[in-house]
A and B are shown apart, each in its own frame.
Chain A
């Protein structure tokens, strides 16, 4: 579903990604962990076609980036630590706007359904700027799944959430994964990554320094592996 070979990304003289190799199968849930500046967000932005690779080959759902970006975007949902929502629009208006942009047939019905799925039906007429961080993040997930994408990219989705909202988000993530969607999620939280994902990739200094399947490692050994890889 996602194939990345020799990905390099430079900003001026600074190399952020240095020949990164990555693969995710259909329906796989991969967590990308790593220290600040390791290149997690940059990598996700390239997968989302928001940033151009400097070198290397990136294929998402069989389409090559950046040349076939439009074909990739229709198969992609993105949830960032920013909500990507307009504060001065209501929840319903935000989703209707994005539904129109994605060309959803019968946007009103789809928006109603999605608001129900993320449990924001009662707040549909409220302005998004009045929402709590947890509610905004649920609506952001609603925005990301409006067009029913095959692949979902989550960039540190738990940032700024309280315990209850984070647990709620975990439930949403598990539900999305259970429906066979391919998920790539960046996180700083090893426990959460190990709890949710099938595979944990540790990104350090612009490359995937280690990749372990959850089933093959004791979660207690993960911090040790993380330290040894990131401090190497």
Chain B
């Protein structure tokens, strides 16, 4: 440890800062948060491993519990799949915000002179990446276990849209729940009723693709999913500042 008195805290060199307003600064801040979340997860591997183990256990339990024939499997697949993603996603959302809360890092982020919605988008993109990684691993395993082909472009698009909506609401609500002592319990209680408008069209549209329905039957659900994605992202963009401030 250096001797007390040997430190020089502020040098005489001026520090040049970029303009804190503007799209460039906004996108840079989002990028920095995503980069930070990915590096932290790469080191700790807490978030993805927990989500993944949980997701695999859920699909295994359903596999043994339902013991279904091939036709029935196709009808329940979308439901089982979205239950798996929703439950595993909750674990990830909780952990992602807990990392910010543990050492007061959320305050560190809130002190930065950028629009606070940039923090929301940074966290949401990070959460989406983690959720997609888990889905990329779960989908082939599910296909093998349930003997159902999930590699359909339409279905994959629905999974992407559903995940975006889920993460958009989840990131906002987890930033609310993180301030409470019962955050682990509170998040699912808050999240599942609110995210229902995303989950229902996601399940219906997924089922449509798996059952081979006409696109005319699937489009209304897809449209609903897209509309709810946009609505939830817009709401989160508007209210995040108030949610995180005391």
- Residues of chain A having any CB pair with chain B under 8 Å: 45, 48-52, 66, 70-71, 73-74, 76, 78, 80, 82-89, 93, 97-98, 100-106, 110, 113, 117-119, 127, 134, 141, 143, 145-148, 164-165, 167-168, 170-172, 175-176, 179, 181
Contacts and interface: CB of A to CB of B under 8 A. Distances in A.
B229 to A, nearest CB: 27
B10 A73 contact: no
B15 A147 contact: yes
B103 A86 contact: yes
A84 B1 contact: no
Contact of A102 (B113, B115, B246): B113
A143 B15 CA distance: 14
A60 B33 CA distance: 27
A62 B36 CA distance: 33
Nearest to B122: A101
Contacts of B99: 86, 88
B245 interface: yes
Interface in B158-196: none
A117 B10 contact: yes
A88 B15 contact: no
Interface stretch (B24-32, B73-81, B126-134, B207-215): B24-32
A146 B17 CA distance: 10
B105 A84 contact: yes
A171 B7 contact: yes
Given A86-B40, A172-B9, 11 more contacts: A70-B20, A70-B21, A74-B17, A88-B39, A97-B36, A100-B29, A100-B31, A102-B17, A106-B16, A113-B13, A117-B11
Contacts of A97: 32, 35-36
Contacts of A119: 1-2, 6-7
Contact of A113 (B11, B32, B36, B102): B11
A82 B107 contact: yes
Given A113-B13, A143-B108, A171 B113 contact: no
B129 to A, nearest CB: 17
Contacts of B18: 103-105
B10 A175 contact: yes
Contacts of A147: 15, 17
A106 B14 CA distance: 12
A85 B7 contact: no
B103 A168 contact: no
Contacts of A84: 103-105, 107-108, 111
B222 to A, nearest CB: 37
A82 to B, nearest CB: 3
Contact of A50 (B1, B32, B102, B246): B246
Interface string B94-131: 00000100111101111111110000000000000000
A199 to B, nearest CB: 21
A51 B246 contact: yes
Pick from B7, B16, B19, B99 the residue with the most CB of A within 10 Å: B7
Nearest to B118: A101
Contact of B17 (A104, A167, A170): A104
A100 B24 CA distance: 12
A115 to B, nearest CB: 11
B9 A103 contact: no
For the complex of A and B, the 5 pairs showing the least CB-CB separation, nearest first, are A82-B104, A84-B108, A103-B18, A51-B246, A73-B113
Given A101-B32, A134-B1, A85 B9 contact: no
B40 A76 contact: no
A113 B4 CA distance: 19
Contact of B10 (A66, A78, A98, A148): A148
B111 A78 contact: yes
A76 B111 contact: yes
A80 B105 CA distance: 11
